[in-house]
Chains A and B, each alone.
Chain A
Amino acid sequence: MNDEREGCATSDQLGADAQPGRAASGGMTAGMTPGMTSADVADASRLVAYGLQPKLLPARDAEYAELIRRHRDDPAFARLADAVAAGLGLVILEVSARAGMALAAAEDSVFAVRMGEYSRRAASDSTDRFLHGLAHLAIAAMAFPRPADLADDGYIGRITVNGVDAFVRQACRRLEERAEEQGENTDPASEAPGLEAGWRVYARRSATGATKDARRLAGSTTGIVGKAVAFLVDSGFLQRTGDESGGTYRTTARYQLQVRDMAGSAAMAELLGLGIVPVADGTPSLVAADGSEDLELVAEAGLPFHS
């Protein structure tokens, strides 16, 4: 719990850092600026309300665009809108013409989505909770494969449901091979299912399954990824572009902001809390394996991920 709060604090800070100009001119907790009327408060609240409709873009709505412009040009109005958002338990990630007012829910906000509401099965089953979370992480990793992709504002990621599943499965297979190479027994002890490795849980869950009504089997991994993708579409983070490979999607500016400024850092903080410190220098880690390792692998030589 302590760790989670820390993660939240970090992301808050990141959120504020994204708008240094405003942070310098008073911060979010500044009092009501003189000269502002209740009509201005109504406008500021309307801007926040627009931000709560994540699929709506300023380019599609003249009034939204006007409020965004006012937020940029009128510092007093901007402070007012920021205060409204903060009061509702919302973190502002960015206010711009491309993303609109990109909002994220703070930890204990009424707008936050809880795992139990997201999937009833995940509420009771720790394995399912892990798989649902992993699906979201994998979608982000597939959408922004290189660190540069996540940093580049103009980058649009493209994913497919089956692609995400295959991507995680391949990473799992690589770990399985590595464990086999080292002659390690990865079968978990019967009394301690919680000690089973994450990749093994994913690998043994079936990828798909025939159902009576020809829908995706909810418990299969493509079902879980499909659910995550559909949820992200509703959050205004992905846009559906086609039906191939279980559904193809592209990312929106909001998703990039959310992953970069909120989710990535929160998960990193949690990982650090477990005592694991992955160090990177900005070069992608999804690179070719070096030759020496290939000699030991027969079936998938030359194709593994390297981390």
Chain B
Amino acid sequence: MSVVPTNVSVVSTSTAQVLPHHTAGLARPVAPGPAADEGLARRLKALACTAPLHDLDVRKANLAGEYSTYAMAEVALAAIDLVTLNMDFDTGADHDQIIARLLLRVAAQAPQRSAAEHERVARWVLENLINVGSVDRGFRAVYGTFGPDGVYVRRDYDFKLIEEVPGPGGTVYLRATDEAVNVLVGALDTDVTSAQIATEVKLEVLINRGRLADAQLAAEQARYRTVQYAESLRRALEATRRDVRAVDWLRAVPDMINEALDHVADRYRHENAILTNIRKARDESEEPEHKRRAAELVDIVKDCIRRHTQLQSRLLEAGPLFRAEQDRQAFAAPPARCGLDLYGQLLAPVLPLPVEQAAKVTGAFFAHGVGLRAPLAVRIGDLVEALLMPPVEREHLGAQMPEPDLVATPEDSRFSEQQLEVALELLDLPHDAPRRLSDLLAEARRHDPELPYLVALLAVHAASPPIGTAYRQGEQRLLFAVDDGTELDDPEFGGADLIVGSALLDAAEMAAERTVEENRR
């Protein structure tokens, strides 16, 4: 796919103050104001992101009821934490699930209060983090800066902490925004990849030295970065899915996919190594606190690996999707004549405009693009009649359901219960006296001409005995069948003349083994 040079030029007669973007590329006037101002603005914004959390503790006094026991900022931070960690690749975190997990912490803060109040507090915090009351569902902070001309300007900074995104089937999911992740983890304004590598190395060193408390912190940070990495990739893939022509399919996308796959492979190897290390630390540690921390670490690293695997499967799906879209669009018939380029000539130039001007353009499009509506003409007579008409009574429970007509299904098993019983009795062999299949079949045939089929079936199954199940369920004995190369001589069956026998299992030893294994898990 060739790269088409830009063909849209934007000429503006407005002043540079109104439309700074268009002139900025050519010759931007150097700001005479203090350079530190920008840094100050950045810090002010960072400070503003924490304000909604402090605000919760301030406003809890205004709530009807005695809520001072609850540490609202703590609950809020925990909520952001939960949403960040539960964000999946495709969707976000589920609203109710977050509430349910949040309840544990809320309940711990005031155990003597009712569960209903705990839930009310959890919901209040989450709703305030989304800021349900406002139309944008976000927050706004005002800060001031000196402009390039030395004039002091107050500006609005809009941000969100938790945003609601559409999920499949019209559901609504929660995602933590970049601002929220910044508030939570702090100073994530770095290159995701390099930060991730740094954390992983640090983690490995810490584990090797046995400093698990620090290691856990590092692992958690590594997980946040993993989530962030997946998030930026998700956005990228979503964009490519929308329009094939918006994408450089020749170089940039394959490069990106390869890079991401390399990343996944690398991290996967790395984290598996870490996992082995911590497992060792967990099993060998004597101190319970140490053991618990190591166990937590195992969970975190396992979650990291799960996320990487998920990311990888998405990456593998991207290629075929591109090719299908490419085929569909590239082989369309060539255009007969030129039309208006709605995106390039209208939408793209409108978006950077100030709202006041942009609204004129969108307003014109709206006025001419929505179609027409025939105005209603009502006769007063009809209106009176319609208003006086009694409402139609509706059945509260709806129409009556017909009684379902149930028919007993006929017995269609190949063998009866009784036959199975006889066959099992026949195969209940003493453990020190196995028998040949031919012998068993002959005996079965004496009982019932159908029975050999069932015996043969059970014997074939015994050739691959369910050892795992028997082990887990603590069975005492197990039927097995072995082929020693002898051919079966039978009028109805062919194949190997299996040796069928019972093996005794050591139930006590197995139980002990299982306990050890559970502990390790």
A: residues with CB less than 8 A from B are 3-4, 7, 11, 52, 54, 90, 103-105, 107, 109-115, 118, 126-127, 129-130, 132-134, 136-138, 140-141, 144-152, 162-163, 165-168, 170-173, 175, 178-179, 182-185, 187-191, 193-202, 204-210, 214, 216, 219-220, 222, 231-232, 234-237, 243-244, 246, 254, 258-260, 262-271, 273-291, 294, 298-307
Question: Do A111 and B336 touch (CB < 8 A)?
Answer: no
Question: Do A179 and B347 touch (CB < 8 A)?
Answer: no
Give CA–CA (A109, B4) in the complex, Å.
43
A216 to B: closest C-beta gap in Å: 8
A129 / chain B contacts, CB cutoff of 8 Å = 359, 362-363
Interface check B351, CB cutoff 8 A: yes
B: residues with CB less than 8 A from A are 1, 3-14, 18, 20-21, 24-25, 28, 38, 41, 95, 130, 132, 135-138, 142-143, 145, 153-158, 160, 163-166, 168-170, 172, 191-192, 232, 235-236, 238-240, 242-243, 245-253, 255-256, 332-375
Question: Do B251 and A115 touch (CB < 8 A)?
Answer: no
> In the complex where A198-B352, A206-B138 touch, is A136 in contact with B365 (Cβ < 8 A)?
yes
Which A-chain residue is minimally distant from B235 (CB atoms)? A300
Question: Do B374 and A111 touch (CB < 8 A)?
Answer: yes
Which A-chain residue is minimally distant from B126 (CB atoms)? A210
Which B-chain residue is minimally distant from A259 (CB atoms)? B369
A168 / chain B contacts, CB cutoff of 8 Å = 347
Question: Do B132 and A288 touch (CB < 8 A)?
Answer: no
Which A-chain residue is minimally distant from B151 (CB atoms)? A189
Which 7 pairs, one residue from A and one from B, show the smallest C-beta to C-beta distance? Answer: A302-B252, A285-B344, A133-B362, A235-B371, A148-B335, A263-B369, A151-B339
Which B-chain residue is minimally distant from A102 (CB atoms)? B371
Give CA–CA (A138, B256) in the complex, Å.
28
A290 to B: closest C-beta gap in Å: 5
A174 to B: closest C-beta gap in Å: 9
> In the complex where A269-B364, A274-B360 touch, is A162 in contact with B372 (Cβ < 8 A)?
no
Question: Do A151 and B352 touch (CB < 8 A)?
Answer: no
> In the complex where A130-B355, A189-B154, A263-B369 touch, is A284 in contact with B361 (Cβ < 8 A)?
no
B27 to A: closest C-beta gap in Å: 12
Question: Do A175 and B245 touch (CB < 8 A)?
Answer: no
Question: Do A302 and B343 touch (CB < 8 A)?
Answer: no
Which B-chain residue is minimally distant from A262 (CB atoms)? B368
Question: Do B340 and A274 touch (CB < 8 A)?
Answer: no
> In the complex where A198-B355, A209-B132 touch, is A151 in contact with B347 (Cβ < 8 A)?
no
Question: Do A286 and B137 touch (CB < 8 A)?
Answer: no
Which of B12, B168, B354 is the one whose CB lies under 8 Å from A198? B354
Question: Do A54 and B371 touch (CB < 8 A)?
Answer: yes
B297 to A: closest C-beta gap in Å: 29
Give CA–CA (A294, B169) in the complex, Å.
35
Which B-chain residue is minimally distant from A219 (CB atoms)? B135
Known: A166-B242, A266-B364, A283-B7. 9 other contacts (CB 8 A): A52-B374, A194-B354, A231-B371, A259-B369, A278-B345, A285-B341, A301-B252, A302-B255, A303-B240
Question: Do A274 and B164 touch (CB < 8 A)?
Answer: no
B348 / chain A contacts, CB cutoff of 8 Å = 171, 278, 285, 305, 307
Question: Do A145 and B239 touch (CB < 8 A)?
Answer: no
> In the complex where A286-B245, A299-B232 touch, is A140 in contact with B342 (Cβ < 8 A)?
yes
A163 / chain B contacts, CB cutoff of 8 Å = 242
Give CA–CA (A232, B86) in the complex, Å.
37
Give CA–CA (A217, B153) in the complex, Å.
34
Question: Do A263 and B368 touch (CB < 8 A)?
Answer: yes
